[in-house]
């Protein structure tokens, strides 16, 4: 497998990356894993950018990076994340991504059932080109964290029992666990948002792989009780990030921190993976705009943080003008998306997941 970027890494990093590629090849880790369809792009699976993330996470030690990558590969295989990503119920995916359910454009949004609310891409970028993601800490409660128990996906291997029903009215649905759900949400970032932002023509340093993102978290409604509720969730999600998605987060900026944030941090700190903890930045309301305006243009910064973008947590990505031109469309659709290659080698965005017991495979846009 050829390295697919003309990078400007330091010679040490280039040499380490070449060694890492060789080690992965010897372990047969560069082929197409189970669950990846024939035309699926291998973004965030085993492309160069992904391997570079693992290498940097292990300070350019190829052997250590290989060990972590093998562990992440086993997790993906054991948890069947690729297959589930293609077959999760779209409504469940949206419930985990945001705070409103899918409604016709003419209908008002409705509150969803409780489900963990994960950070999601808002369709905008930092000044350096990183995807900007939005999280609302107030939406993460004890009841919403338990909502993953209601998430279902369409079983790709329905039962052979003739008495079982597999029609649209009673599809063979299976449950998932909280780590599987978190992996699907991070896959949406790494398999769609980051590659799209990397491909835009106006990005600075286009020859340098884009590997990370910035998360803006609104903590304005955070309560002391939530600090206790967040502990297990923070442990699971930060551990998954560190093991399977290293270096995809450049910063997690906690905005509008209440006066008692220090007390909450004492409660949560010991439950967060140390690597993830180093990426956290805490800002009071008075500090939010001065800092964020240095890294994000006003038109790409939600109004909650002092910018001009009218955006609420849970909305679909509001693509900036450069992304719209690159995709030839005004926006994306609800549910999981992925990148595939067409017969001409172009990258296409397709919508997957299942609706009413039927798996989607719908063309959304072609990256020009």
pLDDT digit string, tens, across residues 73-122: 999 999 999 999 999 999 999 988 864 333 333 333 344 445 456 899 99
Indicate the pLDDT class of residue 165, thresholds 50, 70 and 90: very low
pLDDT (tens digit per residue) in 8-43: 557 889 999 999 999 999 999 999 999 999 999 999
**4 occurs within a structural domain:** no
Indicate the pLDDT class of residue 280, thresholds 50, 70 and 90: very high
Predicted local distance difference test score (pLDDT) of residue 105: 37
- The C-alpha atoms of residue 129 and residue 132 are separated, in whole angstroms, by 9
Average pLDDT of span 134-145: 78
Identify which of 330, 280, 126 has the alpha carbon closest to the alpha carbon of residue 210. Answer: 126
Based on the domain organization, do 43 and 119 belong to the same domain? no
Based on the domain organization, do 146 and 218 belong to the same domain? yes
Query: What tokens were used for 37?
Result: 């369809």
Q: Are 254 and 137 in contact (CB under 8 A)?
A: yes
Count other C-beta atoms under 10 Å from residue 270's C-beta.
Answer: 11
Pairing of the two strands 131-136 and 337-341: unpaired
Based on the domain organization, do 90 and 28 belong to the same domain? no
**162 occurs within a structural domain:** no
Predicted local distance difference test score (pLDDT) of residue 211: 93
Predicted local distance difference test score (pLDDT) of residue 163: 42
**3 occurs within a structural domain:** no
Q: Which domain holds residue 328?
A: 81-102+111-156+172-366
Looking at every residue in the chain, the average pLDDT score rounds to 87
- The C-alpha atoms of residue 368 and residue 349 are separated, in whole angstroms, by 11
173: pLDDT strictly greater than 80: yes
260: pLDDT strictly greater than 70: yes
Identify which of 61, 45, 46 has the alpha carbon closest to the alpha carbon of residue 12. Answer: 61
Indicate the pLDDT class of residue 308, thresholds 50, 70 and 90: very high
Q: Are 282 and 264 in contact (CB under 8 A)?
A: no
Based on the domain organization, do 26 and 57 belong to the same domain? yes
Based on the domain organization, do 193 and 55 belong to the same domain? no
Query: Which one is predicted more confidently, 268 or 109?
Result: 268
Average pLDDT of span 303-323: 95
Identify which of 313, 295, 321 has the alpha carbon closest to the alpha carbon of residue 120. Answer: 313
- The C-alpha atoms of residue 136 and residue 9 are separated, in whole angstroms, by 35
- The C-alpha atoms of residue 87 and residue 276 are separated, in whole angstroms, by 29
Q: Are 258 and 288 in contact (CB under 8 A)?
A: no
Based on the domain organization, do 51 and 97 belong to the same domain? no
Query: Which one is predicted more confidently, 282 or 107?
Result: 282
Based on the domain organization, do 66 and 119 belong to the same domain? no
233: pLDDT strictly greater than 90: no
Q: Are 360 and 343 in contact (CB under 8 A)?
A: no
The number of distinct structural domains making up the chain is 2
Residues in the chain: 368
**211 occurs within a structural domain:** yes
CATH number at residue 64: 1.10.8
**146 occurs within a structural domain:** yes
CATH number at residue 213: 3.40.525.10
**256 occurs within a structural domain:** yes
What is the distance of C-alpha 244 from the center of its chain?
12
Count other C-beta atoms under 10 Å from residue 44's C-beta.
Answer: 24
Place of tokens 């990505």: 317
**165 occurs within a structural domain:** no
249: pLDDT strictly greater than 70: yes
The vertex-184 CA angle with 323 and 114, nearest 5°, equals: 105
Angle between the N-to-C axes of helices 224-244 and 62-79, in degrees from 0 to 180, rounded to the nearest 10 = 110
Predicted local distance difference test score (pLDDT) of residue 368: 80
**248 occurs within a structural domain:** yes
Based on the domain organization, do 343 and 212 belong to the same domain? yes
Q: How much is the pTM? A: 0.88
Based on the domain organization, do 35 and 66 belong to the same domain? yes
Predicted local distance difference test score (pLDDT) of residue 162: 44
Predicted local distance difference test score (pLDDT) of residue 1: 35
Based on the domain organization, do 75 and 85 belong to the same domain? no
Residues near 225 by beta carbon (within 8 Å), at least 6 away in sequence: none
Predicted local distance difference test score (pLDDT) of residue 89: 94
136: pLDDT strictly greater than 80: yes
Predicted local distance difference test score (pLDDT) of residue 284: 97
């Amino acid at each position: 497998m050829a390295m697919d970027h003309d990078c400007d890494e330091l010679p040490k990093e280039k040499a380490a990356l070449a060694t890492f590629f060789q080690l992965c090849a010897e372990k047969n880790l560069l082929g197409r894993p189970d669950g990846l369809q024939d035309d699926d792009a291998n973004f965030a699976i085993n492309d160069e950018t992904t391997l570079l993330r693992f290498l940097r996470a292990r300070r350019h030690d190829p052997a250590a990076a290989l060990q972590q990558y093998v562990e992440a590969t086993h997790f993906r295989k054991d948890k069947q994340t690729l297959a589930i990503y293609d077959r999760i119920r779209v409504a469940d995916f949206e419930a985990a991504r945001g705070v409103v359910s899918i409604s016709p454009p003419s209908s008002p949004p409705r509150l969803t059932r409780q489900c963990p609310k994960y950070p999601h891409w808002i369709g905008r970028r930092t000044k350096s080109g990183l995807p900007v993601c939005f999280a609302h800490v107030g939406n993460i409660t004890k009841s919403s964290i338990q909502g993953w128990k209601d998430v279902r996906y369409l079983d790709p291997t329905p039962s052979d029992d003739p008495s079982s029903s597999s029609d649209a009215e009673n599809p063979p649905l299976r449950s998932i666990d909280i780590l599987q759900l978190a992996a699907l949400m991070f896959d949406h970032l790494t398999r769609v948002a980051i590659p799209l932002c990397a491909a835009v023509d106006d990005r600075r340093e286009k020859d340098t792989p884009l590997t990370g993102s910035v998360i803006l978290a609104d903590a304005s409604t955070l309560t002391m009780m939530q600090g206790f509720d967040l502990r297990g969730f923070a442990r699971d999600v930060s551990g998954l990030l560190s093991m399977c998605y290293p270096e995809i987060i450049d910063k997690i900026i906690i905005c509008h921190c209440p006066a008692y944030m220090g007390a909450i941090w004492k409660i949560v700190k010991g439950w967060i993976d140390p690597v993830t903890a180093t990426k956290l930045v805490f800002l009071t309301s008075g500090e939010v705009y001065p800092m964020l305006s240095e890294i994000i243009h006003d038109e790409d910064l939600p109004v909650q943080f002092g910018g001009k973008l009218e955006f609420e947590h849970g909305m679909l990505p509001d693509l900036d003008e450069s992304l719209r031109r690159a995709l030839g469309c005004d926006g994306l659709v609800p549910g999981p998306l992925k990148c595939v290659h067409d017969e001409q080698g172009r990258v296409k965005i397709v919508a997957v997941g299942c609706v009413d017991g039927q798996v989607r495979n719908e063309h959304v846009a072609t990256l020009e």
